[in-house]
Amino acid sequence: MSGSARVAEIHRVTRETDVWVRLNLDGSGQADLRTGIGFFDHMLHHVAHHGLFDLSVKASGDLHIDAHHTVEDVSIVLGQALDRALGDRAGIVRMADAWVTMDEALAQVVVDLSGRPYAVFNGEFAGPTLGGMSVSLIPHMLESLAAHGRMNLHTRIVYGRDDHHKAEAVFKALGRALDAATSIDARRLGVPSTKGVL
């Protein structure tokens, strides 16, 4: 897989949402994001820009109810696209972490593209919403991404006062950690596992 284009395009339709995602792991940080949720688009833009991924997302959903299904399903499809773009995961660095500050806030994201889904979120927000989106959707988004991207994803907000800054630090760190973990290590032959398979 390391010698071929690492690009995936997935379209998923349910009774609640219609989501299309195109992801290029070896892009330049270009983003075209249309989920109908401005704050979510803003956070995904940070992932693409700081991860140097080309990411296109077009989603429509039952926003007349709330943002839950749209955020969840976009995260599912993004995880599936990541998994597909990685192929057999041969040659990747696999494990990486990133620390990002945003003014007074500090966040850390650690990823292991192990093929085993697990997510941990350690952090708190002062208010119930950000840009009209429930802050409870941030850890849920990360859980859905980890499950369908088949990776360990540990996130913590170390400190901060402003909720927007804390969230922004998380998503910037997510982009940087995924960029490092998905990178190809020229010294690596095959998959990065002593088992010989991920």
Amino acid 1: pLDDT: 42
Across the strands, what pairs with 58? 20, 34
* Residue 24 to residue 34: CA distance in whole angstroms: 17
Amino acid 6: pLDDT: 97
Tell whether 35 is covered by a domain. yes
Tell whether 193 is covered by a domain. no
pLDDT band, very low/low/confident/very high, at 174 (cuts 50, 70, 90): very high
Tell whether 1 is covered by a domain. no
Amino acid 2: pLDDT: 41
pLDDT band, very low/low/confident/very high, at 177 (cuts 50, 70, 90): very high
Q: Decide: 184 and 2 in contact? Cβ < 8 Å.
A: yes
Mean local confidence (pLDDT), 56-66: 97
**Host domain of residue 93:** 7-182
Tell whether 187 is covered by a domain. no
The model's pTM:
0.95
Mean local confidence (pLDDT), 53-59: 98
Total tally of structural domains belonging to the chain: 1
Mean local confidence (pLDDT), 111-121: 97
Q: Is 93 exposed, middle or buried (0-12, 13-18, 19+ CB in 10 A)?
A: middle
Tell whether 198 is covered by a domain. no
Mean local confidence (pLDDT), 11-15: 97
pLDDT at 157 over 70: yes
Tell whether 188 is covered by a domain. no
Choose the weakest-confidence range: 3-17, 43-57, 119-133, 166-180: 3-17
pLDDT in tens, 71-111: 999 999 999 999 999 999 999 999 999 999 999 999 999 99
Can you give the CATH number for the domain in which 119 is found? 3.30.230.40
- Distance in angstroms between the alpha carbons of the first and the last residue of the chain: 13
Tell whether 22 is covered by a domain. yes
Tell whether 154 is covered by a domain. yes
